[in-house]
């Protein structure tokens, strides 16, 4: 993550920006707080109810919880695997925890969220931290008030631990930004976490907070949920206010939580749903009861349910086959749990989906309106951001393409809105005609892409274009250990029913598995033992973060004869063995007999790393005495490194 200096003195705020070099808990170095918890309480995978009960029974304090999560962020976000999911931390989190602990002791608890640490995507307005959309262009922007949902969360007693990275201005699904850099997937750090709420997805999967908030314009809650083995609901448009969330498309934008369990998601949703007089979309709740998500949870919800399988969204390309098969297996499991599943189709679905998104039509203008209304934003338009070069280079093509819309409401925009209405009617008519509780399909029909590669396979548009609720449910893992999700789409305001179905599936399958995270180690040092009477020095250092092995070898023994080559050899015979690296320099006829001095550096693939740690890589010498490399010795971990490895293996890092 980039190391950004803080430039917020004009508002007299102190903000802790997380950098790749140092973990800042309080910007004041004389702070009386530290991150060492006084109670041995494991927050990894802890549910909101477990945290609440521990607080209620005085087994732990909110300050303990804050410190425990900060410690995990220190170990795994800025060190170890360096997930890079957190864009900044709340410098007042510990003080707020102490205040809430005092309130709990004196007055009791406000509710389930009292003293619970949470994370927000960095497009939610917060008065005590900048709201940037992960863009350097807005890095100094302090809104005048909290977003509607943030206000609800604070009133419930939640502690906002910090802000998460996101795909810059929410305009993508792999989570890369000019302010936050690239976030990694905790299940495979070579892959993306989804987006645009990928920082929240990665952080909650890694237990950096109890629960986190994201936004969804086309998949930005559901894709990170799928990619990180989480629950994520794109609610019915208007069920929860989006006031105070930096817009991408006012027609399609929604906001809400991502969680490790269905129950946690329900608890979070109960706090933030409801009518907002300043958000006209929430007027759909004027004549209806606000749903109670917790009360709706039912382990038997799948029994006698009717679920349509929308096979046209499974894809028919070779790249779609693995996820498609796994999703079908999950649907079969639903059937075994009592659900009646049936294939369904929507006539002309592909043509209705095509051109139904309004993001490209609204992004430029919605951002202008938002920045102008703020009154304090440092830039006033997407065009200015592009002209000043205040964006990540990966966003250049997208931003330049979207800044050239000359009209707010051209004919293509009107056609897209008409397509959305037609698609909405088609889905509702199908579900009502067949008496369906939900429609199911893959959240992502292709595996998670390597960082830097295009991510394809999204099915986000059906819910985004219809405004209908859609829930991504953890459904298991691919052969490569990558999470995937199934998506349940429902009728308007049946969000609680969808979550009940997801809860029923969760309780009967147990698909949630935490990622395997390890703290960083110093460089691993290896040694080797050639002949005991031979004069030599050999040093091997392995960087656990970069997988680079550095070698340095010096030989001085006339008995070797002329030395022709020195290298690292992989054991295993002709099928898997062979030389993996030559330790330089090039041989010289002027070299004294039996002498050699050389060094090298090589990047090891994961398989070879395993071979190194198992002692299956050898230092091999080729000389006139040993022309076939008969002189060889395995690289072994030296005693000091062994001690470190043994210490780490004794720690439960999850």
Per-position b or e across 285-308, b if 16+ CB within 10 A of its CB: beeeeebebbebbeeebbeebebb
Nearest to 223 by CA among 455, 513, 469: 455
Neighbours of 649 (CB within 10 A): 8
564: helix, coil or strand? strand
CA distance 308 to 281: 28
The catalytic residue among 37, 75, 85, 121 is 121
Nearest to 173 by CA among 475, 485, 398, 423: 398
368, two tokens: 């202008």
Nearest to 149 by CA among 240, 283, 246, 250: 240
Q: What are phi and psi of 564, to 5 degrees?
A: -100, -35
Distances (CA, A) of 180 to 60, 79, 174, 183: 32, 15, 12, 8
582: Cβ contacts below 8 Å, ≥ 6 apart: 565, 566, 567, 600
121 is catalytic: yes
136: Cβ contacts below 8 Å, ≥ 6 apart: 4, 178, 179, 390, 391
Contacts 24+ apart (CB under 8 A), 397-401: 398/171, 398/172, 399/171, 401/360
Pairing label, strands 176-177, 631-634: unpaired
The catalytic residue among 37, 132, 139, 196 is 196
The catalytic residue among 220, 463, 504, 623 is 220
CA distance 117 to 56: 15
406: helix, coil or strand? coil
Pairing label, strands 86-89, 16-17: antiparallel
220 is catalytic: yes
CA distance 74 to 86: 10
Sign for the pseudo-dihedral over CA of 421, 423, 425, 431: negative
E strands in 459-616: 470-477, 483-489, 524-527, 536-543, 548-556, 563-570, 578-582, 595-603
Contact 193, 228 (CB under 8 A): yes
Place of tokens 């075994």: 336
H, E, C per residue of 504-543:
HHHHHHCCCCCCCCCCCCCCEEEECCCCCCCCEEEEEEEE
572, two tokens: 């295993």
Distances (CA, A) of 344 to 307, 353, 427: 9, 17, 11
Contact 353, 423 (CB under 8 A): yes
H, E, C per residue of 294-319:
HHHCCCCCCCCCEEEEEHHHCCCCHH
Nearest to 524 by CA among 540, 549, 542: 542
140 is catalytic: no
Nearest to 518 by CA among 651, 641, 328: 651
601, two tokens: 């550096």
Active site residues: 121, 196, 220
């Amino acid at each position: 993550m980039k190391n950004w200096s803080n430039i917020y003195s004009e508002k007299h705020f102190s903000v802790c920006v997380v950098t790749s070099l140092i973990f800042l808990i309080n910007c004041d170095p004389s702070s009386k707080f530290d991150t060492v918890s006084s109670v041995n309480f494991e927050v990894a995978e802890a549910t909101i109810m477990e945290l609440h009960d521990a607080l209620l029974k005085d087994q732990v304090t909110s300050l303990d919880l804050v410190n425990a999560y900060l410690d995990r962020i220190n170990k795994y976000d800025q060190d170890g695997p360096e997930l890079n999911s957190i864009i900044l931390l709340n410098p007042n989190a510990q003080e707020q925890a102490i205040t809430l602990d005092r309130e709990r002791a004196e007055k009791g608890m406000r509710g389930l969220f009292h003293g619970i640490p949470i994370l927000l995507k960095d497009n939610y307005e917060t008065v005590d931290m900048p709201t940037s959309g992960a863009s350097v262009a807005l890095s100094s922007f302090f809104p005048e008030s909290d977003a509607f949902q943030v206000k609800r969360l604070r009133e419930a007693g939640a502690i906002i631990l910090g802000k998460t990275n996101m795909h810059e201005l929410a305009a993508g699904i792999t989570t890369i930004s000019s302010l936050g850099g690239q976030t990694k997937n905790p299940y495979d750090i070579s892959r993306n976490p989804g987006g645009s709420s990928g920082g929240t997805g990665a952080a909650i999967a890694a237990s950096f907070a109890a629960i986190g908030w994201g936004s969804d314009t086309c998949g930005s809650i559901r894709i990170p949920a799928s990619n990180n083995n989480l629950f994520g609901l794109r609610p019915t448009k208007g069920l929860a206010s989006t006031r105070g969330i930096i817009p991408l498309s006012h027609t399609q934008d929604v906001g809400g939580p991502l969680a490790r369990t269905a129950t946690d998601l329900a608890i979070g949703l109960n706090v933030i749903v409801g009518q907002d007089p300043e958000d006209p979309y929430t007027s759909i709740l004027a004549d209806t009861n606000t749903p109670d998500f917790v009360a709706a949870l039912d382990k038997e919800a799948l029994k006698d349910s009717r679920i349509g399988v929308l096979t046209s969204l499974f894809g028919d390309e070779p790249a779609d086959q693995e996820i498609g098969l796994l999703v079908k297996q999950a649907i079969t499991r639903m059937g075994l749990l009592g659900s009646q599943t049936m294939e369904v189709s929507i006539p002309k679905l592909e043509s209705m989906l095509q051109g139904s998104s309004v993001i490209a039509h609204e992004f430029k203008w919605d951002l202008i309106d938002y920045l102008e209304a703020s009154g304090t934003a440092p830039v006033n338009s997407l065009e200015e951001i592009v002209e000043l070069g205040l964006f990540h280079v990966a966003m250049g093509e997208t931003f330049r393409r979207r800044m050239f819309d000359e009209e707010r409401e051209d004919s293509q925009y009107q056609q897209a809105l008409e397509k959305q209405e037609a698609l909405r009617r088609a889905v509702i008519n199908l579900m009502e005609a067949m008496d369906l509780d939900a429609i199911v399909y893959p959240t992502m029909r292709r595996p998670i892409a390597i960082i830097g590669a295009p991510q394809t396979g999204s099915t986000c548009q059906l819910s985004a274009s219809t405004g209908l609720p859609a829930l991504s449910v953890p459904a298991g893992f691919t052969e490569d250990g990558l999470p995937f999700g199934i998506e349940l789409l429902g009728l308007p305001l049946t969000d609680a029913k969808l979550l009940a179905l997801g809860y029923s599936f969760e309780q009967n399958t147990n698909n949630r598995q935490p990622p395997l995270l390890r703290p960083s180690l110093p460089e691993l040092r290896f040694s080797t033992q050639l002949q005991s009477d031979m004069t030599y020095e050999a040093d091997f250092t392995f960087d656990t973060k970069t997988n680079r092995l550095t070698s340095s070898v010096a030989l001085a023994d006339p008995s070797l004869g002329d030395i022709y080559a020195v290298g690292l050899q992989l054991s295993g015979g002709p099928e898997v063995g062979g030389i993996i690296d030559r330790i330089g320099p090039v041989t010289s006829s002027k070299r004294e007999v039996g002498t050699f001095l050389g060094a090298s550096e090589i990047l090891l693939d994961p398989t070879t790393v395993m071979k190194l740690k198992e002692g299956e890589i050898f230092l091999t010498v080729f000389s006139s005495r040993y022309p076939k490399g008969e002189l060889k010795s395995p690289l072994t971990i030296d005693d000091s490194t062994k001690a470190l490895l043994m210490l780490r293996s004794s720690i439960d890092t999850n």
